[in-house]
Each structure stands twice: as C-alpha cells, then as structure tokens.
Amino acid sequence: MMWPVRVLQVSDLHTGTLEEPEVEEDLRRLVAEADPELVVASGDLTHRNKPDQHARAAGFLRSLERPLLVIPGNHDIPVWPPARFTATFDAFRREWPETEPVYRSERIVACGLNSVRPWKHQGGALRRDQIEGVGRTFAESAAGALRLVALHHHLMGAPWRTRKLTIANRSTVLGGLVDAGADLIVSGHVHQSSVGERREFEVLTAASRLHATTVAIAPGLGQPRPKRRGEARGLHLYEADERSLRVLTYAWAPAVGHGLGSWVQIADRRFPRGEEPLATVG
Ligand SMILES: [Fe+2]
Ligand SMILES: [Fe+2]
C-alpha cells in the first residue's frame, strides 16, 4: 500500500452569508497541491437551509474534483416546525442522497454520521445503533486502512469561549467509536480548531485498548459571524501513514493592500496511529 494518504476536512461553510470567490479559488489550489484522496465536509453547509444555498455549497464541493463525504449540520435543516420535523433533511437530500455516507478504498474507510436532532436547537446526539454501524463497517474494511468517523457535533471542548455544548453523552460516544476501531474522529460546529489524542484526556487502565484515536475539530470554512471572537476561519488536512497521523491546520489570511488573500498553514501536529506509541523512553 502507498502511504501517506491525505484527507482534507472543511466544515461549517455556512453558504449564503459571505461570498468570497478568492477563498474558494485558493482552496482549489490547496487541493491540487495537497492531493487528498477524500474531502470531508462536516456539516453546516448552508446558513439557512435554502435550496439555492445547498446547490451553491454542493457546486463548490464538487468543483474540488475529489471523492466527497458530506454530512448535515444543525444549520442544514428547517428552522421552524412543522418542516423542521416533517421535512428535516429534504433540502440536504436534494444534493446528497445519504445523510450517513460511507467511503471505502484500500487506504481509507470513512463513516459519516448524522448527529443533527430537530428537537435540539444547537446540540447533537448519536444513537447506539449509529455507533454499532460504524463498528460493522470498520470490521468489513481493508486491514490497515485509515478508519475515519465524521460527525458535525464536537466531542472535545473548544479551546476558546463557546456556549455550544459537546455532543450528548460524549464519553459513551467516544468509547463506542474507540471500540469500533476509529483512528480519527472529525467534527466541526464550534468554528475553532482543537486536536487531541484520547489518551491526553483519558487515563489508561490495564484493560484499555492501546490503539490511538485522534479527535479533531476543524475551524469554520465560512465566517457567518465575522465580529464574533473565538470563531476561526480555516480547515484541516490529515496525513496518515501506517504509524502516525499528522494534522495540519490552515487559516485564511485575508488580503493586505493590493495582495490576495491565501490559505496559510498555522499548525502541524503529529500523533501515533495504531498500537505503537510515537516514542518510548530509553
Ligand atoms: Fe456552524
Ligand atoms: Fe453547527
């Protein structure tokens, strides 16, 4: 198998707010250069769930000319009842038939999960059977493939201030996805980047599974509330080989003077992949 493999994650496009063609144009350049096998779009594709916003978001994502794994966010459903309950994912499904897509290749198996719940305003949740489904998909996948889970709502707290709560029962969700064999869990929703390996926040016991699971929240690609502090504009690029997983964070640097804005890399973090640590002492 040829390593490394790359996955690009964009989240929270919020299409329908700002329109900035140079952001999209430079992202196409980044995709051409980084050559990801898969592009993940982890929800909040639109700001108001309008059909034209979905069409525009889909047009942009398809223009990247890569396989796509696209899932809904809490902004991708109607705001008001009864449509919120009777036609919850209709607008999303016009562009993307599945709310829980799966992508498989020799090097990647990626499960999209729908964590949006119409009776919750901001929060999200997963059912046990959704997590069990991930376990079955991973069990059937090629040995050694990068096992990725994408959902809109975040498991890990945001590094900066936010009122958004993490996904319901996050310890159960994380435990289930770790047991399913996930190497990487990616989400969005908070518009801030945060990355950690689960053993950075969970103590190990003799019974613990040793394989690394990296949990990542991507910044927002869109900027629906430009004045709000604590909402970053960026994206994540993941690069995996057999033993390690790199997470590269990019931020949008706006134009200065007569120059053009561009995507700039602002962080490069490395985590173990599989059961071996990055290093041992001695
Ligand atoms: Fe969002
Ligand atoms: Fe969201």
Write down the pLDDT at residue 62. Answer: 98
Residue 84 confidence class, pLDDT cut points 50, 70, 90? very high
From the CA of 13, the nearest ligand is 1
Ranges of each domain in the chain: 5-272
Q: How far apart are CA 209 and CA 202, in angstroms?
A: 11
Residues with CB under 5 A from ligand 1 (ion): 12, 44
Q: How far is the centre of ligand 2, averaged over its atoms, from the C-alpha of 45 (Å)?
A: 9
Residue 74's φ and ψ, nearest 5 degrees, are -65, -20
Q: How far is the centre of ligand 1, averaged over its atoms, from the C-alpha of 116 (Å)?
A: 12
- Is residue 225 over pLDDT 90? no
Q: How far apart are CA 180 and CA 182, in angstroms?
A: 6
Beta strands of the chain (E only): which ranges? 5-10, 38-42, 68-71, 102-104, 108-112, 146-150, 184-187, 194-197, 214-217, 234-240, 244-253, 262-272
Q: How far is the centre of ligand 1, averaged over its atoms, from the C-alpha of 141 (Å)?
A: 31
Measured from the Cβ of residue 1, the count of other Cβ atoms closer than 10 Å reads 11
Contacts 24+ apart (CB under 8 A), 82-89: 84/118, 85/118, 85/119, 88/116, 88/118, 89/114, 89/116
The number of C-alpha atoms within 13 Å of 234 and in the hemisphere containing its C-beta is: 23
Residues with CB under 5 A from ligand 2 (ion): 44, 73-74, 189
- Is residue 17 over pLDDT 90? no
Residue 36 confidence class, pLDDT cut points 50, 70, 90? very high
CATH number of 5-272: 3.50.50.60, 3.60.21.10, 3.40.50.180, 3.40.1440.10? 3.60.21.10
Q: Are 12 and 43 in contact (CB under 8 A)?
A: yes
Q: How far is the centre of ligand 2, averaged over its atoms, from the C-alpha of 76 (Å)?
A: 9
Q: How far is the centre of ligand 2, averaged over its atoms, from the C-alpha of 247 (Å)?
A: 22
Q: Are 74 and 42 in contact (CB under 8 A)?
A: no
What is the mean pLDDT of the segment spanning 169-189? 96
DSSP string, 63-97: TT-S-EEEE--GGGS-SSTTHHHHSTTHHHHHH-S
Buried b (16+ CB within 10 A) or exposed e, 242-269: eebbbbbbbbbbeeeeeeeebbeeeeeb
From the CA of 74, the nearest ligand is 2
Both tokens of 243, joined, read: 């033993």
- Is residue 255 over pLDDT 90? no
Count of residues for the chain? 282
What is the mean pLDDT of the segment spanning 210-234? 90
Q: Encode pLDDT of 18-30 as tens digits.
A: 778 899 999 999 9
Q: How far is the centre of ligand 1, averaged over its atoms, from the C-alpha of 70 (Å)?
A: 14
- For residue 83, CA distances in Å to 49, 127, 166 come to 11, 22, 26
Q: How far is the centre of ligand 2, averaged over its atoms, from the C-alpha of 122 (Å)?
A: 7
Q: How far is the centre of ligand 1, averaged over its atoms, from the C-alpha of 106 (Å)?
A: 32
First to last CA, the chain: 31
From the CA of 222, the nearest ligand is 1
Q: How far is the centre of ligand 1, averaged over its atoms, from the C-alpha of 182 (Å)?
A: 24
Q: Are 234 and 195 in contact (CB under 8 A)?
A: no
Q: How far is the centre of ligand 2, averaged over its atoms, from the C-alpha of 74 (Å)?
A: 5
Both tokens of 276, joined, read: 């071996």
Question: 245 forms bridges with which residues in the sheet?
Answer: 240, 271
Write down the pLDDT at residue 259. Answer: 79
Q: How far is the centre of ligand 1, averaged over its atoms, from the C-alpha of 8 (Å)?
A: 18
Identity (one letter) of the amino acid at 208? Answer: S
- Is residue 218 over pLDDT 80? yes
Q: Encode pLDDT of 47-81 as tens digits.
A: 999 999 999 999 999 999 999 999 999 999 999 99
